[in-house]
A and B are shown apart, each in its own frame.
Chain A
Amino acid sequence: MMFRRRRLACQEVVELVTEYLDGAMEPARRARFERHLAGCDGCTAYLEQFRTTLTVVGRLDVGDVPAPAMAELLAAFRHWADDRGDG
């Protein structure tokens, strides 16, 4: 998308959030983006919601490995290691 020298609309801003958070925006566009945020409560709230969402996603339980699965894998490992020893 080519952004010429005009203001960004809110509907465009919401499509650019990931690019912005990834630090992948070239400076001129970033400046326009931040200028929009400075004057727009709606988009500021949207960005904040987006960030909060990422915080929750980042805290999802990764979970422990159940004992049977682990035992099975270690048995496979021992088998593999033994086979190598014979080689």
Chain B
Amino acid sequence: MTDDDGAVVAALRRGDEAAFASLIDRYQSSLLRLAMAYVATREQAEDVVQETWLGVLNGIDRFEGRSSLKTWIFRILVNRAKTKGVREHRSVPFSDLVADGEEAEASVDPARFRAGAWSAPPASWEGIPEDRLLSAETRAVVEDAIAALPDGQRAVITLRDVRGFTAPETVEVLGITEANQRVLLHRARSKVRARLEEYLGSAERSTV
């Protein structure tokens, strides 16, 4: 167990409320985001997250530090979310998480290539002011793009790119292979890029 993890675990075991509050602050929103990749409604996601924290408390005495506290908490969430997703008859079964990645999928519309080379190449975004790129409106477009992704892609991009988990941590939390994780991540990122390109392109045209 790392020193940081050790300190937090000891504090929780002692009943230190501030330590628990701090843990919640750190992970609650990310847990909610990840839960939303597995269940149908935000309300269900909130239930899953509450159950997760209870699971953390109930399991904290048995936590041995073989994984980091963070990945342990997120794994509990994934297990709860999968159970809830199945119980509430989510239309997309979890097994599709693995299947997605076995079929080939093009990251860019094949119509934009001719004989393998770009026929409709992407524009440079260098001219776009940074505050437009990071505006609330642009972020909302990206949020929507992520929300529209299939479960597995959404889960991976949430952990890797929204939350900054490493590849090994992501693999551990989701229980998938590194190769599968990379395929899902690539597809997710490609779709979000495509959506962003569409949005920024149309925004440019409307200013003419």
Q: Are A19 and B182 in touch, CB under 8 angstroms? A: yes
Interface of A is mostly: helix
Q: In B38-72, which residues have CB < 8 Å from any A CB?
A: 46, 50, 53-54, 57-58
Q: In A45-87, which residues have CB < 8 Å from any B CB?
A: 45-46, 48-50, 52-65, 69-70, 72-74, 76-78, 80-81, 84-85
Q: Are A54 and B118 in touch, CB under 8 angstroms? A: no
**How many B residues have CB within 8 A of the partner chain?**
53
Q: In B190-206, which residues have CB < 8 Å from any A CB?
A: 190, 192-193, 196-197
Chain B residues near A61 (CB, 8 Å)?
A: 139
- Shortest Cβ gap from B153 to chain A (Å): 12
Q: Are A56 and B196 in touch, CB under 8 angstroms? A: yes
Chain B residues near A31 (CB, 8 Å)?
A: none
- Shortest Cβ gap from B32 to chain A (Å): 8
Q: Which of the candidate stretches B20-28, B74-82, B87-95 sits at the interface with the other chain?
A: B20-28
A26 at the interface (CB under 8 A from B): no
Q: In A14-54, which residues have CB < 8 Å from any B CB?
A: 14-15, 17-19, 22, 24, 40-43, 45-46, 48-50, 52-54
Chain B residues near A85 (CB, 8 Å)?
A: 15
Q: How many A residues are at the interface, by size bracket?
A: 35 or more
Q: Are B113 and A10 in touch, CB under 8 angstroms? A: yes
B98 at the interface (CB under 8 A from A): no
- Residues of A at the B interface (CB closer than 8 Å) are 9-12, 14-15, 17-19, 22, 24, 40-43, 45-46, 48-50, 52-65, 69-70, 72-74, 76-78, 80-81, 84-85
List 20 other contacts, CB 8 Å, given A48-B124, A53-B189.
A9-B116, A11-B108, A11-B117, A17-B186, A17-B189, A42-B122, A43-B118, A52-B133, A52-B196, A54-B161, A65-B24, A65-B29, A69-B50, A70-B24, A74-B17, A74-B20, A76-B54, A76-B57, A77-B15, A80-B58
